[in-house]
Structure 1
Amino acid sequence: MNRRTFLYGLTLGTLSAPLVAEAQRVGKVYRIGILFQTTDNNYFQAILQGLKELGYVEGRNLAIEFRSAEGRVDRLPGLVAELVRLNVDVIVAAGTAATRAAKSATATIPIVMVATADPVLSGFVVSLAQPGGNITGTTVVPTQELWAKELQLLTEVAPSASRVALLWNPRALPGAAAASNLKTMNDAAGKLRVTLRSVEARASDDFAATFAGMTGDRIGGIFLIPSADLFGHLPQIAELAVKHRIPLLSFYRDVAVAGALMSYGASLPDSFRRAIDYVDKILKGSKPGDLPVEQPTKFELVINLKTARAIGLTIPQSLLLRADEIIQ
């Protein structure tokens, strides 16, 4: 899969849209490298939609080189090296690990990051307003307000949840970003009088033992930050949460789809779509270091009613009415 153009069964040649004025130079075929940590058709489709809207058509003025690490972050350096050797015009790097690999591989090819952790603390950009260097794009940095919203949602469905676990792999983030995330959530938890426990999880861990430990610690809710290495284990993690009857929440819709109780966070398809605006500007001559990094503007609440029933929770009608998506 990683040595051929990946189209998810959709032929870009069928995308027909009028070229926007001055969008592309006559006869120029742009080569875009796309680097995913995991394979997700929804996000790839969002990229295709963005390209279509801006008039980029495979076979006419566009060639796409898609690479996915399939959840194995150790493969990212080799995959991005392929894109560099192909001399692509721009690299779209999805996620923190992919962006880190791309940054290590090239200081000259423009990189558009999507859905990363704090890009400043991660060392990708100098500042959000003036990125500098060859990287810009979109980020999903969780603010204290967003963390507080997550905890508030948990208390709405499980008022007795006074002890909450943060299930994550802090080693997947740069030290400063990991420390900032933990401090921000601790601050939010303190204001809601919720005790937060940090629980490390890696792909090689025995998740059954991890959940048994949280149950023994009387954890009333779990908030999951799924790094690239954990994405492939989402169904198992969600299944264990149901088995132990613990509400599982996350920023990401993927987690709710996998079986978590709910998710609330930035719309990742929207973030991927907006990333294509950066690609377009760069192909037209803008320097990535001059394009401010965008923070999320569209958020979505997803509730999994099947999971709620399985763990014996009743979702308040007021919360159901606020949901953007309900999984039955």
Structure 2
Amino acid sequence: MKRKGIIITLGAILVLLIGVFVASLTSSDNDTATYSGSDNGSEQAGIENEEQRTVRIGILQTTSHPSLDEITAGAIEGLAEHGYVEGENAEIDFQNAQGDQNLMNTMAQALVEDGADLLIGIGTPASQAFANATSEIPIIMGAVSDPIGAGLVESEDEPGTNVTGVKDQAPVEAQLELMNAVLPEASTIGLLYSSGEDNSRAEAKRATEVIESMGLEPVTYTVSSTNDIQQMVASMSQEVDVIYLPTDNTIASAFDTVVSEADRYDMPLIPTVDLMIAQGGLVTVGINQKQMGIESGRMAAEVLNGQDPSTFPVFVLSEGDILVNQEKAEHLNVTIPESILEDAVIIETRE
């Protein structure tokens, strides 16, 4: 009887142990399922967060001028048109160095250190400041005349760096042919630009070659800052027949001074930028600055979407409209040929 009791006790213990073991397995399976579900949920949440993540974009403008302002506005518009809207899924930090190179470098470094996902340089100096500050964050050039000469890309077809964007190749030959048609008696052509800007030097070199090929005499004048402009224009006005102005941020920022001084001597001005006609230039074949910015914004959006800037070809914007300031022509007693006026956009002087 005693032996039978021991057997029953052992049997009960065995059943109890089996129950505990089975319960343990069930609990483990539940924990695994719970963990797996949690992991899948976290992964899904991560995807959703990535889709909803706000990108940070730094924009650095070289200086204040209507043409550069238009490019900046166009870049923001281009970003929005391609899915990156400020205040919704894009945070844009805009800085303007007002032509101060040291300040420009400081601003570029700050935007890099603040963790920008992409940088847009408005003008050659701003783009160079970004390139000096980082070789990793993608940089979009918002208007650079000579990206290779400025050391920003290795090739326009395949940049080979973290920089790509829009090249504003002024139609120099068309501009100078227009000048010659409007001012056929002009034989000495003055070129005014800043000695410190790579883009200006490159464009002035192109212009010099075209002027010489036309059988005219180019004379080069350079300034180191806006402080030199008034006196330089006064000197040029006594030595040349017309002043041609390559794309130049320093000249652009003080173009009102250029116009004011040139008007004192009835000196015609042939700028390369469309908005300068409204400020007092005579004629030009001008590239639309707003469109240049929109193209920059488009390229920025494509890079944010995964396009590699090192293999993303530079976009060249080189065609423009004939622009005529008829009021300025009348002031200078210049008769614009009807054949030109038929195809031209007439621009009124901005007050």
Q: Name the TM tier (shorter chain).
A: 0.7 to 0.9
Taking structure 1 as reference, are residues 209 and 60 closer, same or farther at Cα in structure 2, changes over 3 Å only?
closer
Taking structure 1 as reference, are residues 58 and 213 closer, same or farther at Cα in structure 2, changes over 3 Å only?
closer
> Given the alignment, which residue of 219, 225, 230 partners 1:197?
219
Equivalent residue letter for 1:196: P
User: Which ranges in structure 1 are unaligned for 5 or more consecutive residues?
Assistant: 1-23
1:123 aligns with 151
Q: Distance in 2 between matches of 1:127 and 1:161?
A: 38
> Given the alignment, which residue of 243, 248, 256 partners 2:277?
256
1:26 aligns with 2:26: no
Q: TM-score, normalised by structure 1?
A: 0.84
> Given the alignment, which residue of 163, 173, 179 partners 2:188?
163
* Aligned residues of 1:265 and 1:300 also touching (Cα < 8 A): yes
Q: Distance in 2 between matches of 1:326 and 1:314?
A: 15
Equivalent residue letter for 2:73: Q
RMSD: 2.0
* Aligned residues of 1:77 and 1:101 also touching (Cα < 8 A): yes
Q: Distance in 1 between matches of 2:184 and 2:342?
A: 19
Q: TM-score, normalised by structure 2?
A: 0.79
User: Which ranges in structure 2 are unaligned for 5 or more consecutive residues?
Assistant: 1-48
Mean alpha-carbon deviation: is it higher for 226-235 or for 27-36?
226-235
2:92 aligns with 64
* Larger of the two Rg values belongs to structure: 2
> Given the alignment, which residue of 93, 112, 118 partners 2:140?
112
Q: Distance in 2 between matches of 1:125 and 1:206?
A: 32
> Given the alignment, which residue of 243, 247, 254 partners 1:233?
254
Q: Distance in 2 between matches of 1:140 and 1:47?
A: 14
2:207 aligns with 185
The alignment-based identity, stated in percent, is: 26
> Given the alignment, which residue of 41, 45, 48 partners 2:73?
45
Residues 105-132 of structure 1, C-alpha deviations (whole Å, 9 max, x = no match): 1111100002112111111101001101
Q: Which has the higher helix share?
A: 2
Equivalenced residues, count: 298
1:80 aligns with 2:115: no
User: Hey, which bits of structure 1, 4+ residues long, moved more than 6 A?
Assistant: none
2:332 aligns with 311
* Aligned residues of 2:169 and 2:318 also touching (Cα < 8 A): no
* Aligned residues of 2:226 and 2:251 also touching (Cα < 8 A): no
Taking structure 1 as reference, are residues 204 and 250 closer, same or farther at Cα in structure 2, changes over 3 Å only?
closer
Give 1:94 shift.
0.9
Q: Distance in 2 between matches of 1:43 and 1:182?
A: 22
Mean alpha-carbon deviation: is it higher for 180-189 or for 129-138?
180-189
Q: Distance in 1 between matches of 2:312 and 2:277?
A: 33
Give 1:197 shift.
0.3
2:60 aligns with 35
* Aligned residues of 1:211 and 1:244 also touching (Cα < 8 A): no
